[in-house]
Chains A and B, each alone.
Chain A
Amino acid sequence: QQQVKQSPQSLIVQKGGISIINCAYENTAFDYFPWYQQFPGKGPALLIAIRPDVSEKKEGRFTISFNKSAKQFSLHIMDSQPGDSATYFCAASIRAAGNKLTFGGGTRVLVKP
């Protein structure tokens, strides 16, 4: 049972465009939703995170939108740059239950110059 579903699996966007990655979760007990960026041969790096009492969070060019009733959240990368080309993972956890991260399947983003 995949508790966090991520789409699309891959994405190609032109430089300056907007990359949008969507995630849907099933467990309503999840209360922490981070996004990670992973470059080849590197560990996942925390990008931005949100809690369910907030509908949107922005950090620089990265924005998380959160829809609690739909059990969905998304990452928007504005003004995408070639350096943003990486694999992005959404995740969810229950903070009081050890905070173990349940990851989505990942989205490979390629930004073309």
Chain B
Amino acid sequence: DTAVSQTPKYLVTQMGNDKSIKCEQNLGHDTMYWYKQDSKKFLKIMFSYNNKELIINETVPNRFSPKSPDKAHLNLHINSLELGDSAVYFCASSFQGASSYEQYFGPGTRLTVT
């Protein structure tokens, strides 16, 4: 049973297209995150939702729009894809305000924009 799952695992698309990545967690966590890992393996936070409310919104182009339909799901929609969007996108989840702040990551979605 996968704790944090993402679909798709690979996404190849052309510049200018719109695409979505989906994330689901079955850990009962109340907070979910999107991180981006670039070609140099550097990991950076993009967004975070707590109980479906956006609580972290880093300096990310507004072509990126997260959406959380419920506590267990967090999707990432990307409009007008650019070459520089090519990266691995990771979803993660955790509890907030509890004694445990451990974040668990999904397997990642490798996005390639051609």
Contact = CB atoms under 8 A, between A and B. Distances in A.
A43 B43 contact: no
Interface string A99-113: 111110110000000
A99 B96 contact: yes
B105 A32 contact: no
Q: Using C-beta atoms within 8 Å of the partner chain, give the interface range for chain B.
A: 20 to 34
Nearest to A38: B41
A102 B45 CA distance: 7
Interface string A77-108: 00000000001010101010011111101100
Contact of A34 (B41, B42, B43, B102): B102
Interface in B94-114: 94, 96, 101-108
Contacts, number: 62
A46 B45 contact: no
Task: Among A38, A45, A91, find the residue whose CB has the most chain B CB atoms closer than 10 A.
Answer: A38
B103 A34 contact: yes
Contacts of B48: 98-100
B54 to A, nearest CB: 10
B106 to A, nearest CB: 5
Contacts of A101: 33, 35, 43, 45, 92, 103
Given A42-B108, A44-B90, A87 B41 contact: yes
A42 B108 CA distance: 7
Interface hub of B41, B50, B94 (most chain A Cβ within 10 A)? B41
A44 B43 contact: yes
A43 to B, nearest CB: 4
B31 A99 contact: yes
Given A98-B96, A101-B35, 6 more contacts: A34-B102, A41-B108, A89-B43, A95-B101, A99-B94, A103-B43
User: What 7 A-B pairs are tightest by C-beta distance, nearest first?
Assistant: A43-B105, A103-B43, A100-B45, A98-B56, A44-B105, A43-B107, A98-B55
